[in-house]
Structure 1
Amino acid sequence: MDGTESGWTVVIADDHPLVRDAMRHALMQSLNDVQVVDASSLDEAKAAVDRLGAVDLVILDLNMPGMDGFTGLAAMRAAHPLVPVAMVSATNDETVMRRAIEFGAAGFIPKSAPLETIAEAIGQILDGQVWLPIPRNAPSSGTGTSRQDIASRLGELTPQQLKVLSMMSQGLLNKQIAFELGVGEATVKAHVTAILKKLGVHSRTQAVISARLLDFKTVD
């Protein structure tokens, strides 16, 4: 990224104004003619992408309202698979970083990173690369092929199916999920059937175990 490109559109989604300001400064430092749209929740970020149509990058806070761990990332990727997503978080846990990449993030940027590093990360992501503050080929702890396979299967779920799966993992029954979503119970049953099929499991319990990958929480 040489800073000569123009006409970039970036959505910054974080519930902390200071973080949004820092990201905005980094964008101004690395890009020319950039339009920055702020959002303070996942719903606001998704609405912004829907409204704008052409977005070059979405920057998502891992722990802002609506994210529910990695569910928000998976939902954004399912709704807009062609838009690269960079995750930001206060955590420096390598396992969390790698898991974000497994769920489709194009990069993971610690909030503690200097502005120059943030600018470099954003530039590489916009160039089509995957950016991590750690070597991608470094040994990982607890990240195996089965987890990657499950992450890939979870990525095939629609945004509505992700919502249903999240509610299932909270112990809600079909009737309760139907009430929360404002749909019929038959619709929820259809979603559950589709979820089980896509995840390659045979019971709600197995689906919930898979969903625990999405519920990895960090302190922000």
Structure 2
Amino acid sequence: MKILIVDDHQLFVDGMRYLLKKLLVTKEVEEAFRAEDAIRILESGKTFDLVLIDLCMPGMSGLSVLRRMRAQGIYTPVVVVSAEEDITKIHETLTSGASGFIPKTHNGEQMRTAFEAVLAGEVYIPPDIEKRLAGYDARRTLDCGSITRRQREVLRLLAQGYSNKQIAATFYLTEHTVKAHVAALLKATKTSSRTECVHVASSRGLL
């Protein structure tokens, strides 16, 4: 088994090399400390069974390497091993074709589980990150057009306990218009009451 590790920290690369040889039947581990070097190696014709890559490196990012690989038709499984916590960036790596995301805080046994899952053709995402991704997807679904700016403002006042009459007075709207906004919010959050709507919106980070 041949593995390419792409990370700008020598200590991490050394530790990962040791861990891979201990956990997996790894005949060869090659390393690259810059994204540009990784691209050069991958486009040289060398083949690998797995690529492990950090997101944050000087110059080009790990995400750039992943996108370049896919653009060049290189479909070697790529697992991001990173301390990155921004769910937007994690989501971006997975939608760009990564076969998994492993936090650098994972212990050896968790790493083994992740590697085995990816090498078996699965996508590995830790349960806590999977939960955050689900919430992120829900927020994006609502943010991408189903809730207008005015409806978001109405939602904010709903959360503060305002009545339709009070909301209408605040925004100089008719109560009929406010009722329409509230109905749209209930539909978007798939709820049947104002209280439930606020709860769901809050859980999805909309408040």
Shorter chain as denominator, the TM-score bin is 0.5 to 0.7
C-alpha distance in 1, partners of 2:58/2:72?
18
Report if the CA contact (8 A) 2:54-2:62 is conserved.
no
C-alpha distance in 2, partners of 1:83/1:107?
12
Where in structure 1 do 4 or more consecutive aligned residues deviate above 4 Å?
none
C-alpha distance in 2, partners of 1:119/1:9?
16
Report if the CA contact (8 A) 2:35-2:61 is conserved.
no
Alpha-carbon deviation of 1:69? 6.6
Map 1:90-109 → 2, pairs under 5 A: 90-109=83-102
Unmatched segments (≥5 aa) in structure 1: 1-7, 148-220
- Please report the TM-score for the alignment, with normalisation by the length of structure 1: 0.56
Map 1:53-132 → 2, pairs under 5 A: 53-68=46-61, 70-132=63-125
Alpha-carbon deviation of 1:145? 6.3
2:136 is equivalent to residue 141 of structure 1: yes
Unmatched segments (≥5 aa) in structure 2: 144-207
Report if the CA contact (8 A) 2:20-2:26 is conserved.
no
Alpha-carbon deviation of 1:28? 1.1
Q: 1:68 to 1:14 in 2, by over 3 A?
A: closer
Report if the CA contact (8 A) 2:38-2:65 is conserved.
no
- Please report the TM-score for the alignment, with normalisation by the length of structure 2: 0.59
Alpha-carbon deviation of 1:17? 0.8
Larger relative helix fraction: 2
Q: For residue 19 of structure 1, give the secondary structure of its aligned residue in structure 2.
A: helix
Query: Identical aligned pairs, as a percentage?
Result: 34
Alpha-carbon deviation of 1:129? 0.8
Higher relative contact order (CA 8 A, sep 6+): 1
Q: 1:52 to 1:23 in 2, by over 3 A?
A: farther
- Number of matched residues? 140
**Aligned-pair Cα RMSD in Å:** 2.6
